[in-house]
Structure 1
Amino acid sequence: MALLLSKAMHGTKMFVPRTLKVKHSFDNTNQASKKLKVSQDDVENNKTIQQSQHPSLKDTFTPTESECGLQEEKIELEETLAKNAFLTENLHHKQEGFPVEEDPVKSFKKNQRWPEPGEPVCVLCGRYGEYICDTTDSDVCSLECKAENLTRAGLLLNIARTPSDSGNQGKSSLVTPLDSDDVLVYQEDPFISSLSEEQIQQLRHDLGIVVHGEGVNRPIVEFIHCGFPEILNENLKRAGYEVPTPVQMQMIPVGLAGRDVIASADTGSGKTAGFLLPVLVRALEETQGKMNHATAALILTPTRELAIQIEGQAKELARGLCNMRTALLVGGMPLPQQLHRLKQNIKIIIATPGRLLDILKQQVIQMNGIKVVVIDEADTMLKMGFQQQVLDILNQIPEQYQTLLTSATIPASIEQLAQEILQNPVRVILGEKNRPCSNVRQIILWVEEPSKKKKLFEILNDRKLYHPPVVVFVDCKLGADLLCDAVQKVMDLKTVSIHSDKTQNERNSILQGLLHGEYDVVISTGVLGRGLDLVNVKLVVNFDMPSSMDEYVHQIGRAGRLGQRGTAITFINNNNKRLFLDVVTRVKPTGSLLPPQLTNSPYLHDQQRKERLKERQANRSVVTKEYLIDIIRKHDRSVSKR
């Protein structure tokens, strides 16, 4: 596919900042642009200039002689496709009396300028990202970088060349439009329909799936039962999704059927793909329909890192789907670049509430095309602080939209609020509700404040426990920096701290380094505590006990992703006495041993006594035989005393 071409609208001109334009008419052969050859000298010169002006950029890809020939052929092909498409566009414009655009498609990166502050940047060379590759959805500066981008992504151009006498141009098959007979409305697979109700109930029981709601769709067993377009099935296989996880088995068919969903499942259970696949299908429906230029889906998350991860997964699953573009709207990144992106017919918006509200105030985007809204980490998003922001956003969306709420923990108060924004929802629960992930071995240690650093050093010296990278959670930013310096100095391990005072670029770099094993220890505040797939992390240490048990569940869940086993060690002392009862209630049933200082604590005994008193008072609100007998006995005792 050629890069995007601009269109001049009659009367009013559509502002499309990054489009392919041609400066001169190709009707005049004397003015036809010459093909430029990619030589090794050009590559080296460009590399030297790039490194001198942008030293932070990594070394660019240096092609071999054979690769130069292949890349040159791709560039010439892309240039030809772009020009042919442009000529067709201009012919139509001339017939309609529209003005004709005149700016050349830049074939090579050396012809592109460097970006101004806030402008999009080419993902390969760092020059001005004037164009968007409609295959990878990446910003590129030229046809040369687009061809290299496709090569790195493993997408080679497959050109179906026809005989010269046919008069037809070759056609690229990188971006796949849906066939006219592709049905996107969810229909239950015949195999699933053939199962008896008893078999479905047994399947749910064996997988630990609990559902509540009217007319709940049956779970799928394989992705093929969803009836996805073939390109989406291929993307699933390429991304490593061989079979759906239990939460995906139930959540996907309910989401595809258009029902509102509240999904509560263990950390690392696959909830993200569980809502992304219905979102992509709904966006494809809108692409085929009349609203093919409207944004179809909105995904809200509490943290920037989680939003970045979700967009990465969405791009991976949407690769090759026609006009399936995403926009990432988060704080800490340049606002002009995000506004720039929103003008490119975006289908899916992934955003944090604060940045999205800032953009909505500028009236840059229209929300009337939104058909599905996802609120990830719903327990945080609907708490005080985020709650009003989320409600303000939802108030700007038409009433007819689907809502998907997901989290590892959904307290009763949040579930009550969710009832107000959902219509006849289906509840999907996996595992013990609001309980720690069963794949994580939990170790609770009683450690006084002055001894915490020493105990951490002992853990990092223990060969049985220490498996880098290790994530250590603390409760404040200064504490993260100080502990980072101490670990690096005493243990001589490659250590880094991450918290909200660091720039978004720094946080992104640290997160990528963690995922690629560049650090031995990462000291973090809560920014890494929710939703992130830290698949190579086997050990988490809660240096400071989290402020709530819900946060505890999320933080230890970083060590047990996608079914892998992990270990979470938590330091606790009398500073955390408010949570003693919750710790015993949630952790003890998992079989974890609790320190005697905790189980024998007078604070715990007092909390248990108060809890029993509450239960008795709650029971007395219901008139029972025992309750009546108790009243009679009390009355008799009071009479005898008189």
Structure 2
Amino acid sequence: MNDEDKKVKFKSLKEQISKGTYSAIKGMGFKYMTDIQSEVLPRALDGADIVATAKTGSGKTLAFLIPAVEVVVKSMENQQYPGTLCIIISPTRELATQSYSVLQDLISYHEGMTSTLIIGGESRQRQSAELSKGMHIVVATPGRLFDHMRTKEFDYKSVLCLVLDEADKIFQYGFEEDVKQIVNRLPKNRQTMLFSATQSERTDALVKSAMKDNIQSINTDEDDLRATVEGLKQGYNSKKKKAVVYCCKSFILEQYNNLFRQYVICETQFRLWWLDKLLKKTKNQKVMVFFSSCKSVEFHYEFFSKYCGASVLCIHGKMNQAERTSVITNFYNAEKVALFCTDLAARGLDIPAVDWIAQFDPPADTNEYIHRVGRTARGFGTTGNAVLLLRPEEKEFVSYLQEAKIYLDKYEMWDKLSNLQPKLDKALEDPDFQKLAIEAFEGYIRALEVRKLKHVFNILTMDMDALAKSFGLKEKPEVDIRVGFSKKHRPRKRMAAMLEAQNETKHRKM
């Protein structure tokens, strides 16, 4: 029996879904269900409350959109549709936009079914006007949705279905209180579906408060031995100059994927030079490079685009919505380009044919690692490459990943790196660029400060001069790294300052 024979066809749902929805699924080119879809859809279509845990790229968007559409279909057939009937909440504008785009394809065969996208960065007045018409399905980010719920124009008293997508990320982005308020305002007699890549105490608390007692819990990862593609141990053969799969076993993520995961240790001051080499090696490919702060994204984008002539784009949370949408569209359509980004781009976005994921700044934890590398190897039979850059002091992060059953092989460091200092010196003649370099330096430290793995990401033992050089700076700038932190972090900052002062005193005496 081949693998396709084991997969469940969408055709098996014909008795549970409307003709319009089934026609739309066929029109979208889907024949077989993914694991999460085959587990969720039969139960969700029966009206059950669902809590589903699945890896990124598992196909969960259709797993919640199809039941949501069918809720509206049934209400329209019974002529019971005053106001909005279904709300889908996503943590980011990009993810909400993507879900909304898929929704448009799914409802294309349903005459009279309406939907709207409610996100920040767009006209509140226009959104309010659309909501006042009683749009059947609302796809939204939490903050903007709650804003509209406090107005008279938005009638949500008839909501029959609530979907919380990437629930763990909703909390991480600080929308916990908004979501609580939204849930409390909605009708109690509704279907609720919660999708998350990970479970935590906060998601468990939300489940208890937002859902019925009879919950259908689904975890398509529970039998996996590894957190990303099963049965793959990857490495890089420096002599043959190609990736080698040492052990391979079929696994369905969304389709069959081959993901080559590696790490490289690089001295702090040469990190920028290493990235320059990577961009040259992958200039004919599609690459995503992850950074830990918005300022770091801006600094590296400015330097490589303006002073190195590299083909790069950038996206981060401080850009307005029009800019972010434009960048994602350009990256989506490009065949070869590098996208510099924060973790804003780590979740949900389904970008075709991404060849490389470079984690220039390491992720905060295993969950972020999984979501970052999940941006590549997303198609049938496709391959992807993921490389994690670490400073020598951070090499224990590899062991931390291994404890979570994420196995990486060491990527051979290149023998020769181009000296970028002349270009950096020229760039730093511009006062605005020099200011940006200092802000990026500061942003890097602040991002490390809030990491939980203090034994791996330790700013107390960090060589600040070497770090400054990695941003092109000749010496460590005078930056008060305590600024911008909550009080609970300041004692550690004061200790760092004291240790630094003691070290400087020692050097002067010597």
Length-normalised TM-score, structure 1 = 0.56
What is the CA–CA distance in structure 1 between the aligned matches of 2:408 and 2:342, rounded to whole Å?
25
Which residue of the partner structure matches residue 296 of structure 2? 479
Q: Does 1:390 align with 2:188?
A: no
Deviation readout 1:423-480 (Å, 9 max, x if unpaired): 22222222338923454321122223322222122222336xx652211111111111
Contact 1:495 1:519 in 2 (8 A): no
Corresponding residue for 2:324?
507
Q: How does 1:54-73 map to 2 (within 5 A)?
A: none
Partner in structure 2 of residue 528 of structure 1:
345
Structure 2 SS opposite 1:486: helix
Code of the aligned partner of 2:51 = I
Q: How does 1:358-369 map to 2 (within 5 A)?
A: 358-369=147-158
2:216 is matched with which residue: 426, 441, 448? 426
Deviations 1:247-288 (A, max 9, x none): 111111111011111212221111001110011001111112
> 1:215-264 CA deviation, whole Å, 9 max, x = no partner?
xxxxx533343432222222112212122112111111111011111212
Report matched runs for 1:447-466 at 5 Å.
447-462=266-281
Instruction: For 2:368, give the aligned amino acid.
Output: E
Q: Are the structure 2 counterparts of residues 492 and 301 from structure 1 closer, same or farther at C-alpha, using a change threshold of 3 Å?
A: same
1:568 aligns to what? 386
Is the CA contact 2:52–2:196 (under 8 Å) kept in the aligned structure 1?
yes
In the alignment, what sits opposite 1:23? none
Q: Check the 8 A contact 2:50/2:194 in 1, yes or no.
A: yes
Q: Greater relative contact order (Cα 8 A, min sep 6): structure 1 or 2?
A: 2
Q: Which amino acid aligns with 2:220?
A: L
State the match for 2:428 in structure 1.
Answer: none
Q: Which amino acid in 1 is paired with 2:124?
A: L
After superposition, residues 155-194 of structure 1 pair within 5 angstroms as none
Answering whether residue 228 of structure 2 is matched by residue 436 of structure 1, we say yes
Letter aligned with residue 65 of structure 2: L
The 2-side partners of 1:445 and 1:554 are apart by 19
| Equivalent pair of 1:577/1:603 in contact (CA under 8 Å) | no
Match of 1:240 among 29, 45, 57: 29
- Structure with bigger gyration radius: 1
CA distance in 2, matches of 1:312, 1:372: 19
Q: 1:546 is aligned with what amino acid? A: P
Equivalent position of 2:409 in the other structure? 593
Matched residue, 1:286: 75
* One-letter code aligned to 2:191: Q
Aligned partners of 2:262 and 2:411 also within 8 Å: no
Name the SS of the counterpart of 2:51 in structure 1.
strand
| Aligned-pair CA distance for 1:590 | 4.8
Distance in 1, Cα, partners of 2:394 & 2:48: 41
What is the SS of the residue equivalent to 2:409? coil
Work out whether 1:323 is the aligned partner of 2:112: yes
Structure 1: distance between partners of 2:408 and 2:94: 31
Contact 2:93 2:120 in 1 (8 A): yes
Retained in 1: the 8 A contact 2:260–2:386?
A: yes
1:548 Cα deviation after fit: 2.4
Amino acid of the structure 2 residue aligned with 1:327: T
1:469 aligns with 2:286: yes
Partner residue in 2 for 1:309 = 98
Counterparts of 1:234 and 1:596, CA distance in 2: 50
Report the count of equivalent residues: 384
Helix, strand or coil for the counterpart of 2:36?
A: helix
Which has the larger share of strand? 2
Change (3 A) 1:485 1:357: same
Q: Which runs of 5+ in 1 are unaligned?
A: 1-202, 208-219, 605-642
Alignment deviations for residues 107-132 of structure 1 (CA, whole Å, 9 cap, x no partner): xxxxxxxxxxxxxxxxxxxxxxxxxx
Give the superposition deviation at 1:573: 2.7
* More off after superposition, 440-449 vs 543-552: 440-449
Whole-Å separation in 1 of the counterparts to 2:40 and 2:267: 44
Question: Aligned match of 2:309 in 473, 478, 492?
Answer: 492
Quick one: distance in 2 between partners of 1:286 and 1:467?
A: 50
TM-score, normalised to structure 2's length?
Answer: 0.69
| Corresponding letter in the other structure for 1:584 | Q
Seen in structure 2, the aligned counterparts of structure 1 residues 221 and 294 have a Cα distance that, compared at 3 Å, is: same
Shift of 1:489: 4.5
Return the offset for 1:346.
0.5
Check 1:383–1:523 CA distance in 2 against 1; reply closer, same or farther (3 A cut). closer
1:518: how far off?
Answer: 6.6
Q: Is the 8 A contact 2:131 2:155 kept in 1?
A: no
* Alignment partners' CA distance in 2, 1:541 and 1:569: 5
**Range with bigger deviation, 518-527 or 313-322:** 518-527
For residue 97 of structure 2, what is the amino acid of its counterpart? Answer: I
Q: Are residues 1:225 and 2:41 paired?
A: no
Q: 1:451 corresponds to which letter in structure 2?
A: F
Contact preservation (8 Å) 1:513, 1:519: no
> What does residue 426 of structure 2 align with?
none
The CA RMSD measured in Å over matched residues stands at 3.0
Instruction: Map residues 68-79 of structure 1 onto 2, 5 A cutoff.
Output: none
> Distance in 2 between the 1:312 and 1:474 partners?
27
CA distance, structure 2, for counterparts of residue 441 and residue 302 of structure 1: 29
Partner Cα distance (1:361, 1:434) in 2:
44
Cα distance in 1, alignment partners of residues 268 and 391 from structure 2: 8
